[in-house]
Amino acid sequence: MTHRGPRTFGVEEELLLVDPVTGAPQALSGSVVRYARLHQEVCLAGERRSEPLETELQREQLETGTPVCTSLDTLASHVRSARQAASRAAAGVGAAVAALATSPLEVQPSLTPSHRYRRMSDAYGLTAAEQLTCGCHVHVGVESPEEGVAVLDRIRPWLPPLLALSANSPFWQGSDTGYDSWRHQVWGRWPSSGPTELFGSPEAYRATVDTMLRSGALLDEGMVYFDARLSRHYPTVEVRVMDVCLDADDTALMAALVRALVDTASDDWRAGVPPDGVRTDLLRLAMWRASRSGLRDDLVHPARRDAGCARTVVSALLEHVTPALERSGDLGTVRGLLGRLLDRGNGAMVQREVHRRTRDVAAVVAEAVRRTVSP
């Protein structure tokens, strides 16, 4: 038995606030959020509803979110309108937004002044101080905690290709890191980040989280930073491995692939297909490979566990979720979006190409600002 009707889904994106002239990160998130609330008529510019803008750990970040959607076209429209609302609000205080997962230019991040973030700064030191990274989180609706945990157990091997497709953080403090997703490397310093073992049941999931909290290594449940987790606030599975995408079309593609992965995993669970018992250390290796070279070199094949060229691995991902995409009516759209991404390259490849042509890191930021809100 399959899920009835298309699953709900939504996207949260973190954006970088930058100086529109120099490209340097700007610690203005509080001012941007206040401006958006006071000038909704400017930020909405004809939109029917406000897309929420929120602060994040560092003042150089801004978080956007879509409403709950059922169609891919609607979600893609909301991703664009959220970016445009963020851009207008940022412009109101003299800044711009860039969908970059790390800052290409040098920066000393500035902590958002909240009690929780101060506690995080005290507890985690340099890990918190350097944590200026922007991700993309996709929520997909599930019917129960049992279904949610069954999904978490079955999507694990398929998450590294999502990172490779979305990788958009090659630069750090003015230099090329050699990685397509340096954000993944920085994010991996948190004690609870990364892939998980098989849970098997909601009770086992809950016991794992409770044990982590009792250890004292986490301040609260909001710091359960698994690659994919059950949402604390919504009946959803939340997939968190992706860099924020340079282009809004790529964000829509990530959301469609994640929803299809959830559908496929749920179908397997209902059919009694057991999850792949791949070890967590091998999942970490696969995620490192995706972070290191993105689409430029081999990835770890999710089923065979050997090295395969990036296009072969991406094709395997698409084949894995094709029945779910056919059922939702998204297969043609996803094939088109995926083909364009593979032809153009992920965000890291676009950033490096701009830098190759200009030899100017600020030009990389300027191009990102343009692409962030392009229709």
**Residue 43's pLDDT band (boundaries 50, 70, 90)?**
confident
Q: Name residues whose C-beta falls within 8 Å of residue 298's C-beta, 6 or more positions apart in sequence.
A: 289, 307, 308, 309, 310
How much is the average pLDDT of 61-82? 96
Query: Three-state SS for 162?
Result: helix
Q: What is residue 222's DSSP assignment?
A: G
**Residue 40's pLDDT band (boundaries 50, 70, 90)?**
confident
CATH 3.30.590.20 fits 9-372, yes or no: yes
Q: What pLDDT does residue 45 have?
A: 57
**Tens-place pLDDT, residues 197-234:** 999 999 999 999 999 999 999 999 999 999 999 999 99
**Tens-place pLDDT, residues 131-157:** 999 999 999 999 999 999 999 999 999
Burial 322-338 (b: 16+ CB within 10 A, else e): eebbebbebbebbeebb
**Tens-place pLDDT, residues 286-306:** 999 999 999 999 999 999 999
Checking if the pLDDT of 313 tops 50, the result is yes
Checking if the pLDDT of 1 tops 60, the result is no
Whole-angstrom distance, CA of residue 248 vs CA of residue 251: 5
User: pTM here?
Assistant: 0.97
Q: What pLDDT does residue 54 have?
A: 94
**Residue 368's pLDDT band (boundaries 50, 70, 90)?**
very high
Q: What pLDDT does residue 44 have?
A: 66
In whole angstroms, what separates CA 101 from the centre of its chain? 9
Q: What pLDDT does residue 41 have?
A: 72
How much is the average pLDDT of 109-120? 97
How much is the average pLDDT of 38-65? 80
Kindly report the number of other CB atoms within 10 A of residue 233's CB atom.
8
CB contact at 8 A, 154 and 268: yes
Query: Three-state SS for 25?
Result: strand
Checking if the pLDDT of 2 tops 80, the result is no
**Tens-place pLDDT, residues 158-196:** 999 999 999 999 999 999 999 999 999 999 999 999 999
Checking if the pLDDT of 237 tops 70, the result is yes
Mean pLDDT of the chain, nearest integer: 95
In whole angstroms, what separates CA 67 from the centre of its chain? 16
Angle at alpha carbon of residue 371, lines to 130 and 111, rounded to 5°: 20
Q: What pLDDT does residue 48 have?
A: 47
Checking if the pLDDT of 5 tops 80, the result is no
